[in-house]
Amino acid sequence: MEKKTVLSCIQPTGHMHFGNYFGAVKNWVDLQEKYDCFYGVVNYHAMTMPYKPDKLRQNTWDLIFNLLATGIQPENLFIQSLVPEHSELSWIFNCFTPYGRLNQMTQFKDKSSKSTDDGFISAGLLNYPVLQAADILIYRADFVPVGKDQDQHLELTRTIASRFNNQVGKEYFVMPKGLHTETPKIASTADPTRKMSKSAGEKHYINVFDDEARIRKQIRSAVTDTGEPSGEMSAGVENLFLLIKAGGNEQAHVSLMEDYNADNLKYVDLKEAAAETLVALSQKFREKRAELLANKKEVKGQIKASSAEIRKRAQQTLKDVKDLSGLMNVRF
């Protein structure tokens, strides 16, 4: 049986913390075994908020190296701007998008209320979900592994796909589905009532590529008791257990859980095990990244080549779409 297609994308922001890794990237890595996977670093999307060109370029390559180091296969990885068909399809889709839906999007409302550039809000930010629909439909993805926060964008993607199908009189696009696998929500170790995130500030995230000293320090200062009634596991303790388990340290998890159940758990042991787990993972990834960076030119060349290969599939879809829409096609 032919493999189903999976697509997901991530914006190039300079960091990859353990929340991103356990919540999204690890899942992408695992899906590669069973599906035909396309993973994009979406630099066109990153232009929708005020940004600096040099930083965008740097962040895009940084993220590529980080994704490769954590186990994404190069042939599955592309840079969005190296497949310019995304933006052309996005224009076509704009004409199949009910515009009133765009300013109802939660992400648009959130981001536009946080404009850091003197109230400037780009039309690109409003049209962001249309470009996202193009990312997904251009590969005719069956499944899109994303967090629940992206459900609204997926729903809009299906609206666009079915309006297109109706208008051209052909069931051309299949309706993509979200893939909500068991993605653990990692909390901030400094404040376990909120999620680990970069925007909350220095204390609230641990990067996958941080050096050992910083990882240990962040875990050492993790909040454990947050005033829960006795007999209930505190959010901080639960989060440390989760990090140990998600990091694959099953043995430590079992034995510390026994201590916990016997009312005998020492927080210093729990923290030590959490730190060990993250340090070991991080070490593996840092070594892999150093190897890749030692061959920077080749690796970049490889990603350009994989983007070109992936582009062929996008070109085929765009050609069909233009034919179906009554647009002339460039011969290629």
Which residues of the chain form contacts with ligand TRP (CB under 6 A)? 7-9, 11, 42, 45, 132, 135-136, 144, 146, 150
- The token duo for 186 is 């990692």
Residue nearest to ligand AMP (CB): 23
Sheet of 36-41: strand order equals 77-79, 36-41, 5-10, 143-144, 177-178
- The token duo for 58 is 């740097």
Please pick, among 3, 4, 148, 198, the residue that the annotation labels catalytic.
198
The residue (of 186 and 274) whose beta carbon lies closer to ligand TRP is 186
The residue (of 32 and 197) whose beta carbon lies closer to ligand AMP is 197
Radius of gyration of the chain (CA): 22
Answer left, alpha or beta for residue 58, where phi above 0 means left and psi between -120 and 50 means alpha. alpha
Catalytic, 148? Answer no
Q: Which of ligand AMP, ligand TRP, none does residue 12 bind (CB under 5 to 8 Å by kind)?
A: none
Q: In angstroms, what is the minimal distance from the CB of 91 to ligand TRP?
A: 16
The residue (of 189 and 315) whose beta carbon lies closer to ligand AMP is 189
Q: Which of ligand TRP, ligand AMP, none does residue 23 bind (CB under 5 to 8 Å by kind)?
A: ligand AMP
Catalytic, 266? Answer no
Binding site for ligand AMP (CB under 6 A): 10, 19-20, 23-24, 146-147, 183, 185-186, 195-197
Answer left, alpha or beta for residue 197, where phi above 0 means left and psi between -120 and 50 means alpha. beta
Answer left, alpha or beta for residue 230, where phi above 0 means left and psi between -120 and 50 means alpha. beta
| 215: number of Cβ within 10 Å | 24
Q: What share of the chain is helix, strand, coil (3-state, %, to 5)?
A: 60, 5, 35
| 226: number of Cβ within 10 Å | 12
Q: In angstroms, what is the minimal distance from the CB of 167 to ligand TRP?
A: 23
Please pick, among 4, 55, 111, 322, the residue that the annotation labels catalytic.
111
Q: Which of ligand AMP, ligand TRP, none does residue 19 bind (CB under 5 to 8 Å by kind)?
A: ligand AMP
Please pick, among 26, 52, 148, 195, the residue that the annotation labels catalytic.
195
The residue (of 7 and 206) whose beta carbon lies closer to ligand TRP is 7
The residue (of 19 and 236) whose beta carbon lies closer to ligand AMP is 19
Q: How far is CA 256 from the centre of its chain?
A: 31
Q: Which of ligand AMP, ligand TRP, none does residue 105 bind (CB under 5 to 8 Å by kind)?
A: none
Catalytic, 195? Answer yes
Q: In angstroms, what is the minimal distance from the CB of 147 to ligand AMP?
A: 3
C-alpha dihedral sign at 36, 185, 22, 209: positive
Q: Which of ligand TRP, ligand AMP, none does residue 315 bind (CB under 5 to 8 Å by kind)?
A: none
Q: In angstroms, what is the minimal distance from the CB of 135 to ligand AMP?
A: 14
User: Are the C-beta atoms of residues 78 and 38 closer than 8 Å to each other?
Assistant: yes
Helix (DSSP H) and strand (DSSP E) numbers for the chain: 13, 5
Query: Which amino acids are annotated catalytic?
Result: 111, 195, 198
